[in-house]
Amino acid sequence: MAGSSAISLPPTVGTALPMLGKSDTKATWCPGCGDFGVVAAIEMAVKRLKIPSHNVVLVSGIGCSSNLPHFLSSYGFHAIHGRSLPVAEGIRWANHELTVIATGGDGDGFGIGCGHFVHTMRRNVDMTYVTMDNQIYGLTTGQASPTSMLGQKTKSTPSGVIESPIDPIALAIASGATYVARGFSGDVKHMADLIQNGISHKGFAFIDALSPCVTYNKINTFDFFRQRVYKLENSGHDPSNRALAFERSLEWGDKIPIGLFYRAERPTYEDLEQVLNAGPLAKQPTGLKGRESLLDEFV
């Protein structure tokens, strides 16, 4: 799929608005992959919010996890490597009445896509971004990713990783995201709660999902995380305290926090962009003759 784009469409909208569900495309992930938990959590969260499937757009980049838009019955856009967020931003600005959810992996989002990650957060675009973080490049069969741990031996680092891993939670807090959370595929209900609240949040919501790769990462397994994760909401954490959130984000070892790290309220990009005050661009008059025929060329 590298270098290509694909669009999927939800069922035709009739009198009864269809809710998000599984599509006719069968998931192609390895049996036991953590990404199954993430797609289930997204479906659960959207259903709880009762958002019709035709009002949801799922956008992804390239990687195992980035196949996710194909597996749910919403609108979907499968973009090129590392470019899910600028595509999602464009969709959001063209029609900010849509619920836009970007998905991807740690390689896609924190490697080639890291610049887009930072700038989308500082703009506080009103959308949700869910990353399936497995600390490895799974699609290309097991190379070190930006979140692989120091010393981890992979196909690309047979003597061990010598680069410090990116901390996506700390980066998100520092870059201006207004909702920052971490989930674990081994607890789908908890992750669904985080995603649901992220979608409801007005501003950029980032959920980093610990999603073990059962084929190529034999270190960061389900058992590895089950022995270490604890829920921030059970520890008295105050998500309105940015300094404390940043301190918690640096915890990674015998104890790994999951849950809501940080939440704040500030104007979104859509609030501040005057052009959008008149409503979604897609519904504003263009003054162009033959607009429909022009749009048909791109569909």
5-51 pLDDT, tens per residue?
Answer: 444 555 544 446 689 999 999 999 999 999 999 999 999 999 999 99
Q: Which pair of structure tokens corresponds to residue 269?
A: 């990009």
- Torsion-angle region of residue 287: left (phi > 0), alpha (psi -120 to 50) or beta? left
The residue-averaged pLDDT of 254-261 equals 98
Q: State how beta strands 205-210 and 256-263 pair.
A: unpaired
Residue type, 26: K
Polymer length in residues for the chain: 299
Question: pLDDT tens for residues 128-158?
Answer: 999 999 999 999 999 999 999 999 999 999 9
CB 38 within 8 A of CB 186: no
Residues 6+ apart with CB under 8 A from 259: 181, 182, 190, 194, 231, 232, 233, 237
Per-state percent for the chain, helix, strand, coil, to nearest 5 = 35, 20, 45
| pTM of structure | 0.90
Mean pLDDT of 180-205: 98
Amino acid 85: pLDDT = 97
Q: Where along the chain do its domains lie? A: 28-273
Instruction: Quote the percentage of the chain above a pLDDT of 70.
Output: 92
Specify whether domain 28-273 bears CATH 3.40.50.1950: no
Q: CA torsion angle for 192, 66, 121, 206 (degrees, to 10)?
A: 20
Q: How confident is the model at residue 278 (pLDDT cuts 50, 70, 90)?
A: confident
pLDDT, position 169? 98
Measured distance CA(143)–CA(125) in Å, rounded = 32
Could you read off the pLDDT of 153-177 as tens digits, one per residue?
999 999 999 999 999 999 999 999 9
